[in-house]
């Protein structure tokens, strides 16, 4: 089974606001873009991924992520994360109604293609399935097989919300890179310890220099 990933991304000027204390507003947008670039690059390289659709209205992100092989879908609803994911999934299935679709966070800079493949393969037997984040509170991936609505419920306590919606939680070892999203400086340090992609490594080096 191959999947289309839908990756939402806020305008970079507003992205990763919780990193402001660590990076400041000068470096924060560049970090957000680097996270997204490394996430998309790893997703495109994943053997279980057919293609990637990024939902964003940010002009720089559109250009940079399209260059990595992503299809860019304008965020026409402009109504937040879940609306963007529903819109992206609908755009994918307007072209391929039988597509298997998975929502993936844009802030997984340590993402490994083979670990992502393990998660997607684990999701394949279920109509809807999700992977909790490293903190055990949120969600980094939500998958919906062909014929099933994605039904995203990202945001506060999304692990509990996705469970309540009927999605199956995937319990897998050895997929830390798919769990480690980055919202805070502590998250960034954890991702760096796992080993991040080249773009995030460069952006983080600039942050350390700035410090």
pLDDT in tens, 79-100: 999 999 999 999 999 999 999 9
Contact 61, 131 (CB under 8 A): no
Q: What is the pTM of this model?
A: 0.95
Q: 3-state SS of 120-131?
A: HHHHCCCCEEEE
pLDDT of res. 209: 52
Cα dihedral sign for 165, 156, 6, 181? negative
d(C-alpha 106, C-alpha 181), whole Å: 8
d(C-alpha 116, C-alpha 123), whole Å: 11
Q: Considering just the CA atoms, what is the radius of gyration of the chain in Å?
A: 16
For 191, the enclosing helix (H) or strand (E) is helix 185-194
Laid out side by side, the sheet with 100-104 consists of: 71-73, 49-55, 3-8, 100-104, 139-144, 128-132, 168-169
* Tokens of residue 185, six digits: 């400086």
pLDDT band at 211 (very low <50, low <70, confident <90, very high): very low
Contact 110, 189 (CB under 8 A): no
Burial class (CB within 10 angstroms; exposed 0-12, middle 13-18, buried 19+) of 136: exposed
- Residue 193 φ/ψ, nearest 5 degrees: -65, -35
pLDDT band at 7 (very low <50, low <70, confident <90, very high): very high
Q: Give the model confidence (pLDDT) of 25-80 as tens digits.
A: 788 999 999 999 999 999 999 999 999 999 999 999 999 999 999 999 999 999 99
């Amino acid at each position: 089974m191959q999947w289309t990933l839908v990756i939402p991304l806020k305008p970079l000027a507003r992205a990763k606001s919780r990193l402001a204390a660590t990076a400041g507003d000068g470096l924060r947008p560049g970090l957000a873009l680097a996270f997204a670039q490394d996430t998309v690059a790893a997703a495109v390289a994943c053997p279980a991924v057919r293609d990637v659709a990024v939902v964003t209205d940010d002009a720089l992100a559109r250009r940079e992520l399209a260059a990595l092989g992503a299809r860019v879908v304008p965020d026409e609803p402009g109504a937040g994360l879940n609306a963007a994911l529903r819109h992206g999934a609908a755009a994918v299935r307007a072209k391929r109604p039988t597509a298997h679709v998975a929502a993936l966070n844009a802030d997984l800079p340590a993402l490994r293609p083979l670990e992502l493949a393990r998660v997607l393969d684990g999701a394949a037997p279920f109509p809807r399935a999700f992977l909790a984040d490293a903190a055990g509170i949120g969600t980094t991936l939500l998958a919906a097989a062909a014929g099933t609505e994605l039904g995203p419920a990202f945001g506060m306590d999304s692990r509990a919300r996705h469970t309540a919606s009927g999605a199956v939680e995937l319990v897998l070892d050895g997929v830390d890179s798919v769990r480690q999203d980055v919202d805070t400086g502590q998250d960034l340090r954890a991702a760096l310890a796992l080993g991040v992609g080249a773009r995030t490594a460069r952006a983080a080096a600039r942050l350390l220099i700035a410090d």
